[in-house]
Amino acid sequence: MQIPQNSQELLCNLEHLINQTYEVEKEFKELKEILNGVIEFLPQALWVVDKDNNIIIQNSKAKTLQHIINSKNDEIEINNKVYLIQKSTLEDKTIIVATDITEQKRNQRLISMGQMAAHLAHEIRNPIGSISILLSILNKKCNQNDIINDIKQAIFRVERIIKSTLLFSKGIKIKPKKFLISDFQKEIQEAITYYSRTKNIEFVYFLPEIEIVGDFDLLLLVLQNMVFNAIDAIEYDENDEGVVEVLYQNDENYHIFNIYDSGIEIENKDILFEAFKTTKTKGNGLGLALSLQIIKAHNGEIALTTQKKGFSIKIPKHLK
């Protein structure tokens, strides 16, 4: 049976239309997959809801924060994280975006705390200097050496806090120069005499006469901080004796300093290098945060050791 020409053209047009429909459907699926990929790639949690507040689209980050959808606040805190909530209406749909601004908030608080701490440090520095001068005069005129030594130790602690606070608030700028690693030992030993302790602590050093390039004063401050932390850990320990080791390790690319101690384990490793946070009863929580800044300024690394309790510091041999 012969199909009329008009009918044949109609069938051809219908077949072409069907093929076009398949192509459009294929392109639509591909675009939908791309859109879902983009939404999933976003660093924010995202929802699209209808006028009845039913979720039409959401990414995986949004699934753990469902209760944010109904939040009327611009900011909300959940599980120690702060989120900025932004909403936009498009016809009868609402797009909701939650951005994690925890780090921004933390930086804002650190800046405020740093400014306040720097102001206090400046105010305290002058009277502390006057007390140190008067103490030296008093030391020549009386024999109360124990009392004077106790006062000196207290002043030493205050001066360290002032110096750390001012350095942290201003930012670290290193002044590299050549010096010997062995130069650290005498300075650390002298600083220890001013650091109060009640237990019998053995100090073991291996700081050879090897040349290094770096900011001597700042790197010394880091090593002193590490040794003082080690002393504190031993003071909190139940044993009456302890050992602190300051050991140099030569590497092809790095100068490595390992500081070990026999004291108590670190309680909260998550806040270890966060400023103004400390688990110790003495200290201002700046020692390790400042140490990290100094080591980073030297393009180095600082981390907890795994095989033995302590810290490992790496300084590149070719400082950029």
CA 40 to chain centre: 27
| Same-domain status, 266 and 318 | yes
122 and 236 fall within a common domain: no
In this prediction, residues 216-241 reach a mean pLDDT of 90
Residue 287 has pLDDT above 70, yes or no: yes
Q: Please indicate, yes or no, whether residues 93 and 142 belong to a single structural domain of this protein.
A: no
pLDDT at 190: 86
- pLDDT band, residue 116 (cuts 50/70/90): low
- Same domain membership, residue 210 and residue 129: no
pLDDT in tens, 58-115: 887 877 787 777 777 688 877 778 888 888 888 888 888 888 888 787 777 666 666 6
Average pLDDT score over the chain: 78
> Would you say residue 135 has pLDDT above 70?
no
180 and 159 belong to one structural domain: no
Q: What is the CATH number of the domain that holds 209?
A: 3.30.565.10
142 with 195, same domain: the answer is no
The pLDDT tens digits of the residues spanning 41-61 come to: 777 888 888 888 888 888 878
Indicate the residue among 45, 70, 103 that finishes a domain: 103
Domain with residue 56: its CATH number is: 3.30.450
Are residues 176 and 161 both part of a single domain?
A: no
Instruction: Report the pLDDT value the prediction gives residue 15, as an integer from 0 to 100.
Output: 66
Q: Count the domains in the chain.
A: 3
Looking at residue 67, its pLDDT comes to: 73
Residue 160 in this model has a pLDDT that exceeds 70: no
What is the average per-residue pLDDT within 233-262?
A: 92
| Listed residues 79, 103, 127: the one ending a domain | 103
Q: Please tell me the predicted confidence (pLDDT) of residue 117.
A: 61
Contact 294, 172 (CB under 8 A): yes
- Tracing tokens 């100090």 back to the chain, one arrives at 203
Do 286 and 165 meet the contact criterion of CB atoms below 8 Å apart? yes
- According to the model, what pLDDT value does residue 58 have? 82
Q: How many residues does the chain have?
A: 320
Do 194 and 181 sit in the same domain of this protein? yes
Q: Which pLDDT score, from 0 to 100, does residue 149 have?
A: 67
| Element containing residue 137 per DSSP (H, E) | helix 102-141
User: Which of 103, 128, 152 represents a domain boundary (last residue)?
Assistant: 103
Greater pLDDT, 168 or 174: 174
Segment 244-256, tens digit of pLDDT: 999 999 888 999 9
Domain identity same for 158 and 187: no
- What is the model's pLDDT at position 105? 75
The model's confidence at residue 178, banded by pLDDT at 50, 70 and 90, is very high
Q: Are residues 202 and 72 in the same domain?
A: no
Give me the pLDDT at residue 43, please.
Answer: 77
Between CA 185 and CA 177 the distance in angstroms is 18
Q: Do 258 and 320 reside in the same domain of the chain? A: yes
Quote the domain boundaries for residue 120.
112-171
Complete edge-to-edge strand list for the sheet that includes strand 81-90: 55-58, 45-49, 93-100, 81-90, 75-78
Together in a domain, 64 and 199: no
- The C-alpha atoms of residue 97 and residue 113 are separated, in whole angstroms, by 30
**Range with top average pLDDT, 41-50, 136-145, 154-163:** 41-50
> Is residue 131 over pLDDT 80?
no
What percent of the chain has a predicted confidence (pLDDT) above 70? 63
Residue 259: the pLDDT is 94
pLDDT digits (tens, 9 = 90+) for 270-279: 767 675 556 5
Environment class of 187 (CB within 10 Å of its CB; exposed 0-12, middle 13-18, buried 19+)? middle
